[in-house]
Chains A and B, each alone.
Chain A
Amino acid sequence: MTTTPMDTRPPVDNRPPPLNGLELARWAWRQLTSMRVALILLFLLAVAAIPGSIIPQTEANPLNVRDFRARNPELSQWYDRLGLFDVYSTPWFAAIYIALMISLIGCILPRCWQHWKAMRAQPPKAPRRLTRMPAYRKVEVDATPDEALAVARAELRSRRFRLRKPLEDEADSVGAEIGYLRETGNLLFHLALVVVLLAVALGGLFSYRATVLVTEGSGFSNQVIQFDSLSAGALFDTADLPPFSMDLDEFRMEFVESGNQIGQPADYEATVTLVREPGAEPETHTIRVNEPLNIDGTSVHIMSPGYAPAFTVRAADGETILAEGPVPFLPRDGSFTSEGVVKVEVPPEYGDDIGIQAGFLPTAFLDENGPRSVFPGARNPEVYLTAWHGDLGLDDGQPQSIYRLDTEDMEQYLGDGGEPYRARLPVGETVGLPDGRSITFDGYVTWVNLQIGRNSGRELALVGGVAAVIGLMGSLYARRRRAWVRTSVGPEGRTVVEVAGLHRAEGSSGDRLADEIGAITDGLLLRLGGAEGKRED
């Protein structure tokens, strides 16, 4: 370790002490707070972070984890044992960064105290032989030694050096030091890291993130029961949810229409009506991808979008409407080839339940591979469907996915030749089912997953981050150095002025220090009345 003067900790002793509890603890603490261990822990943390970027993580991407488990059941068991699907919340990962934090605090707090003392202490007095210093200049001047020393003090002060208060026996010299910012910045940087970590850790306890799928023309209110998913910190309280409600008036998707990036999303925009609390005036807002809506600290983001084809299902009398309205379908590819189901619970007098399994194609295209969508925008929307009848099982209390049809108690409609019944519908068309009931494809609207969330502590984390960068710049760019000036009467009766410097910073070259000592000397001569002095190096 570079032994800077404020770093007065004894050099690290690697030998274990005699087996005395207190000694052992002290030894362990010295090890933990040593630079070498900090270095090792930094590396360990970096290495430990790698698996989580390669193996799918539950927090970031639960679907990929599910796929991975299905494909590698054997391996997944091992991964589970080691927590490799949740690397960043495993005890072993936590152990490393907690050790690093403890090491950091244990290292930094004593240094803060030492730096505090160093800043208040006097710069050191001039060494006996200034010629030994890495930068050295000697000039002769006509002024008296006292005058020259006074001028030297003025010069150093104007260069923002901190001057030593001379003691009785130091009337011939001045000591000065500059660049305390280096250590100040370094300490600020390390302390700011602690602040960032605390902000992230404590903030996480109060944060929450929820998603809700909203179809154009419908809305939701900000309550847990309305969310499709919710992840929240341990101290999150549902009473903290701001009591707003929101309707999605329009969700517009634009795609690149031509060129080599055809079909890429170009712009998404949601227009919503917000009611901040029951009874408040409705407000209209737009939400775009990089422009979330902020509602008193809770932000609403646009996540994944999709289409919701609208159907009307009629009874065999051709009049009675059994079901109508848009149903969100899940996109399967970048061109929004979408799939979904419509579950129609039918009152007994109109027959049994109907389940429709359908594909929605915003720009339908049919070739030997079957129907698919070739562009995500709705240029030629069509629906392909097949249907089932029987008991949907909606009443038996089992939770069901709204995207999958449970066909256990159902029978597929069959066509005239006994093959499964299929239909292809452009917008506005109606098809009759074999039992006389009918399905109309009325059109479509869009839907979007909105993410509602609050990241507590983000402001504090940001302040910590910015403080860290500022501290870092001080730590890396400030150069700590000392300068001394001594005056004496030379053999010819003229005054000899010696100027010397010592730098104590990483990466600073001797040249720069020599330049500075030269500049101090020149400044001193200038103050003494021009180039009268004879220079000698």
Chain B
Amino acid sequence: MDLDAVAEWSRYVVVVATLGYLASWLAFCAEAGIHSRRRRAVTEAAAEPERELVGVAASASAAPADEATASAPSGPGDAELQERADRLGGLGRGLFALTTVALAAGVVMRGLGTERAPWANMYEFSITGTLVASIVFIALARTVVGRVVAVWAVLLIFVTVGLASTFLYVPPGPVQPALQSYWLVIHVGCAVLAFGLFTVGAVVSALQIVSERAAERGRTTGFGASLPESAGLDRLAYRLTAIAFPIWTFGPLILGAIWAEVSWGRYWGWDPKEVWALITWLAYAAYLHARATAGWKGSKASVVALIGYGTVLFSYFGVNILFNGLHSYGGL
């Protein structure tokens, strides 16, 4: 098979992976649905005796409260539901892992087919960045916190890969002279890596906010209550950012400056892409500072992290699509 065909085929592999992520997400949703049914049953059962007590006070009827408490918590078929949920969760995780392997194959095929690192335009950047995020999620999914996070991650990944293989798709081809450099490999490679990590961090931060709100309101049912404790999410988001931030400093900023100096003869020229890389950096520096400032821990810091992620998305989608700077390599 010739190389062009390999690159062309990569697109179909990516499309299959997109469907795989969707299937995985549906499995996770079904699992979450069963869990929430179980939790509702438990809380209703817990609320029951109180209602009975009120009833006692009002009508002085002496209905035995025991019956309800005895039957509901373990509910009819609870063990069975639990087992079904576990099976669905296992299916979701299995599909997630398998799909990630497929996506990896798609990315590698694209790289082989074009004979270069597969991150030279927005399509390639998206699929490779998503692959990084998927791998991070799989690594995280060994922990309880990570498993909850993965459910929402899959949705995000599905949307990103879906967008990539439809709107952002660019047929394989060579890149312009300015991009033919090993700096491309490292500089953009770091950006992809950090992008993946920031994405995971953003999901965790968003869940942290929901979890903290739910805890503040004392919720015991619903989505918020199904999340892990907010302090754990807060710490996880911080750790992910702590890995991504130096990579962002090194790749997009420092290596970007070196490459710009090699390629254009100046290391910093306030090009829109450069400006947004800096804005992202400042926003995440603000996040790290917020985490170290009294009164800013928890959901306030998470909001800063989400703003930071907004700037990541903008430096990537916004700048490539809206602005016409030196960095317009989107290929659209």
Residue ranges of A at the interface with B (Cβ–Cβ < 8 Å): 1-2, 35-36, 38-39, 42-43, 45-46, 49-50, 52-54, 57, 59-61, 87-88, 200, 209, 256, 259-261, 264-268, 288-292, 299, 301, 451, 453, 455, 458, 461-462, 465-466, 468-469, 472-473, 476-477, 506-507, 509
Q: Which residues of A contact B286 (CB under 8 A)?
A: 39, 42-43, 46
Which among B265, B267, B271 has the greatest number of chain A C-beta atoms within 10 A?
A: B265
Output the residue of A54, A59, A290, A472 with the most chain B CB within 10 A.
A290
Question: When A458-B267, A507-B235 are in contact, do A466 and B183 touch as well, CB less than 8 Å?
Answer: no
The 4 closest A-B pairs by CB, nearest first: A289-B177, A261-B173, A46-B282, A53-B272
Contacts A60-B269, A256-B173, A507-B235 given; does A290 touch B249 at CB 8 Å = no
- Cross-interface CB contact of B293 among A39, A52, A87, A451, cutoff 8 Å: A39
List residues of B (255-273) whose CB comes within 8 Å of A's CBs. Answer: 257-259, 261-272
A43-B268 contact in complex given A53-B319, A256-B173, A290-B262, C-beta closer than 8 Å: no
Contacting residues of chain B (226-268) with chain A, CB-CB under 8 angstroms? 235, 238-239, 242, 245-246, 249-250, 253-254, 257-259, 261-268
Q: List 30 A-B contacts (CB under 8 A).
A: A1-B294, A2-B292, A38-B289, A39-B290, A42-B285, A45-B282, A46-B283, A49-B275, A53-B272, A53-B275, A53-B319, A88-B270, A267-B177, A267-B180, A288-B177, A290-B177, A290-B262, A290-B263, A292-B262, A292-B265, A453-B266, A461-B267, A465-B257, A468-B249, A469-B254, A472-B245, A476-B242, A506-B238, A506-B291, A507-B291
Contacts of B183 in A (CB 8 A): 290
- Which residue of chain B has the shortest Cβ distance to A186 in the bound complex? B292
Interface residues on B, range: 35 or more
- Shortest Cβ distance from B27 into chain A, in angstroms? 30
Which chain B residues lie closer than 8 Å to A288 at the CB level?
177
Q: Is B171 an interface residue (CB 8 A)?
A: yes
Q: How far is the CA of A200 from the CA of B269 in the complex (A)?
A: 12
A54 CB contacts on chain B under 8 angstroms: 272, 323
| Set of chain B residues within 8 Å of A267, measured between Cβ atoms | 177, 180
Q: Besides the contacts A60-B269, A267-B180, A289-B177, what 4 more A-B pairs have beta carbons closer than 8 Å?
A: A46-B283, A52-B270, A290-B183, A291-B262
Smallest CB gap from A35: residue in B: B293
- For A289, what are the chain B residues with a Cβ–Cβ distance below 8 Å? 177-178, 180, 263
- Cβ contact within 8 Å between A60 and B271: yes
Would you call B181 an interface residue if the criterion is a C-beta within 8 Å of the partner chain's C-beta atoms?
A: yes
On chain A, the residues within 8 Å of B294 by CB distance are 1-2
B265 near A301 (CB under 8 angstroms)? yes
Interface status of B176 (Cβ within 8 A of chain A): yes
Q: Report the bound CA distance from A256 to B175 in whole Å.
A: 10
Distance between Cα atoms of A369 and B292 in the complex (Å): 64
| Residue on A nearest B237 in the bound complex, by CB | A507
* Complex partner residue of A35 from B178, B269, B276, B292, CB under 8 angstroms: B292
A35 to B286, CA, bound (A): 10
Task: Say yes or no for B45: interface residue by CB 8 A criterion.
Answer: no
A472 to B268, CA, bound (A): 22
B292: nearest residue on chain A (CB-CB)?
A: A2
Q: Pick the contact of A465 from B174, B253, B264, B269 — CB < 8 Å?
A: B253
Instruction: Say yes or no: A264 contacts B174, CB within 8 Å.
Output: yes
Contact in complex: A46, B177 (CB < 8 Å): no
Q: Is B279 an interface position by the 8 A CB rule?
A: yes
Task: Say which residue of B238, B264, B275 sits within 8 Å of A301 (CB atoms).
Answer: B264
Cα-based distance from A38 to B325 in the complex (angstroms): 31
Shortest B289–chain A CB gap in Å is: 5
